[in-house]
Each structure stands twice: as C-alpha cells, then as structure tokens.
C-alpha cells in the first residue's frame, strides 16, 4: 500500500462511497487492492454505480467481497447532455436524452434494483454545475428514485453540486423514510440542516484534507458524531498527501487521520464511531 500507515491502521475502516467500475476503467488493479485491504481487517463499504444498467455486472464482479454492499441509481449525469450550457464532459454523458428515454432507463434500473437486491439507491441528486440535461430531467430522476426508496425500504446516497436549496427541499419533501447519506459533503449549511432533520448521515471525502478547505473542516465539527461517515469517492478526490494519483479505498485512512485531528479524537476512537454509524445505516 502506498501509505505511511501500518497495516493495523486499516482494521475497522469503512469507505462509504467508491466506484469499482470507474477504477477498473482507469486500469487500476482493484481486486488486488481489495484483497490487501480485507487481509488487513478493512470493514468494507458501498460500491456505487454510474449508470442505470451496471448493477448486474457489478454484482457479479463483487460477489467474492461480502462486505462490499451495492448501490444502484441514475445520477444526474444520466439526464444527458446539457441543454443549458456548453460543457466538455465525458462522451458517455454527452448525448441528449428524451423524457421517454429517461423513463425507459428508469424502468431498467428498477428491475435491476429488485433483481440484484441492491442495498441502497445512489448516488442520486442534482448537479447544477455541469447542468446535465435540464432541471426538469434531473428532478424527474431524483424525485422518482427518492419515492422508490420509500416504497422499497431503502436508504439513499445523495449527490449535490451547486444545487443546495433544491436538494434540501427534495430531502424535506420526500425523505425517504429510512433516510440516507449526503455523499462528499461540501459544507452547505442548507443541506446539512435538511439532512439532519431527516435522519441522514453526513459523509466527508478526501477534499477534507485539502489545504484551502478550512471551512469544510470547520463544518466537520458541526456534524453530530453519531451521524458522521467517511469515504473516498474513489477514483476521485484523492486525499493529501497522495493528491494527483487515482484514488482507491485504501487511501480513506488519510481522511480518517485528518478528521481525527480536526475533531481532537484518536484514530482508533474515530474508527469505532464511524463503523458503528455505518452499521447503523446498514441496519435501517
């Protein structure tokens, strides 16, 4: 492992949000990483999909890893090419989609969620930075899946980028009943308030370690300890001191170390608290 931490440091760690397929697409030796982590006592986490039809393949790939749970969803990028502004985004998300196509893809996703017995719906949400599709299409995807979560008794994993007010409003209106996680929390008080009201957990990623993110570190102190989770969002948002390399779940230890320092607690105490929170999320 590319880390200054001893193997024991990985015992009991969780990573509440990572993307196996995105790591594989970057040529990373993901399964060797998972094997090493679990041999060191890694407690697992949640593998997140990126498309409406990727659950069956991910389920097969991850069958040997019982402590990696599956989430499936249509994120805001699946609303298609922006109809609001010119963007330079990955080709797979650069095609315009009709409302009929989105409804068809939602139908495929619903079947996959049920057939693959996904444990979570996510990541879902709104992204007004990239302006995928348009706001109507993003809201169709987001609100449909929020309603499904209540129907299916599942928690949700929420993506929010430059859409704080609208995300908070949807959370307050639609729950879901079992709550969920604000993934890669960016420090929004608006979203934090709505999420805590609805029983959500708040998950911090590697950007917590970035030099200019003092505000985010301050917001970490505002999150109740029984609602705190940590993640990598691998292969994205690699923490300091490995920033610039593709991220992997093994690097979550650096985010733990940063969070422990900010909160004034030991790494061992933080590991225990986050693991208890993750188990609480999984038992809802």
pLDDT, one tens digit per residue, over 87-127 is 766 655 678 999 999 999 999 999 999 999 999 999 999 99
Residue 3 has pLDDT above 70, yes or no: no
In a domain, 196, yes or no: yes
In a domain, 168, yes or no: yes
Contact 81, 101 (CB under 8 A): no
* Total number of domains in the chain: 1
Give the model's pLDDT for residue 281: 98
Contact 174, 167 (CB under 8 A): no
What average pLDDT does the structure give for the chain?
A: 95
In a domain, 126, yes or no: yes
Q: Shortest CA distance to 146 belongs to which of 179, 117, 114? A: 179
Give the model's pLDDT for residue 48: 98
List the beta bridge partners of residue 80: 96
Q: What are the phi and psi torsion angles at 35 (to 5°)?
A: -60, -45
In a domain, 1, yes or no: no
Q: What is the pTM of this model?
A: 0.96
Within 8 A by CB and 6+ apart from 129, the residues are 161, 162
Contact 74, 109 (CB under 8 A): yes
Helices 164-174, 135-152: crossing angle, 10 deg rounding: 30
- Looking up residue 246, the CATH number of its domain turns out to be 3.20.20.140
Contact 162, 220 (CB under 8 A): no
In a domain, 46, yes or no: yes
- What distances in angstroms separate CA 71 from CA 48, 164, 205, one per listed residue? 5, 23, 18
In a domain, 40, yes or no: yes
Q: Shortest CA distance to 232 belongs to which of 192, 195, 259? A: 259
Give the model's pLDDT for residue 233: 98
Contact 252, 204 (CB under 8 A): no
Residue 158 has pLDDT above 80, yes or no: yes
In a domain, 176, yes or no: yes
Domain residues for 123?
7-282
In a domain, 2, yes or no: no
Residue 8 to residue 108: CA distance in whole angstroms: 42
Give the model's pLDDT for residue 171: 98
């Amino acid at each position: 492992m590319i880390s200054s931490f001893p193997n024991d440091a990985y015992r009991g760690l969780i990573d509440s949000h990572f993307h196996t397929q995105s790591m594989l697409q970057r040529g990373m030796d993901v399964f060797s990483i998972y094997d090493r982590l679990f041999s060191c006592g890694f407690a697992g986490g949640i593998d997140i999909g990126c498309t409406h039809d990727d659950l069956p393949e991910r389920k097969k790939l991850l069958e040997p890893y019982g402590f990696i749970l599956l989430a499936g969803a249509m994120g805001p990028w699946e609303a298609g090419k922006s109809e609001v502004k010119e963007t330079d985004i990955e080709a797979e998300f650069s095609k315009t989609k009709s409302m009929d196509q989105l409804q068809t893809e939602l139908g495929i996703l619903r079947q996959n969620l049920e057939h693959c017995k996904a444990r979570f719906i996510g990541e879902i949400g709104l992204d007004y930075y990239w302006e995928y599709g348009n706001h109507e299409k993003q809201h169709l995807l987001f609100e449909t899946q929020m309603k499904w979560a209540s129907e299916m008794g599942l928690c949700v994993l929420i993506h929010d980028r430059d859409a704080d007010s609208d995300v908070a409003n949807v959370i307050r209106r639609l729950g879901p009943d079992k709550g969920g996680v604000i993934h890669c929390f960016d420090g929004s008080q608006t979203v934090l308030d709505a999420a805590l009201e609805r029983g959500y957990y708040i998950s911090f990623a590697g950007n917590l370690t970035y030099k200019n993110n003092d505000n985010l570190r301050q917001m970490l102190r505002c999150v109740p300890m029984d609602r705190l989770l940590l993640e990598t969002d691998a292969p994205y948002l690699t923490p300091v001191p490995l920033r610039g390399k593709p991220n992997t779940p093994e690097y979550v230890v650096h985010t733990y170390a940063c969070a422990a320092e900010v909160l004034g607690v030991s790494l061992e105490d933080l590991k225990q608290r986050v693991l208890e929170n993750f188990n609480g999320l999984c038992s809802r």
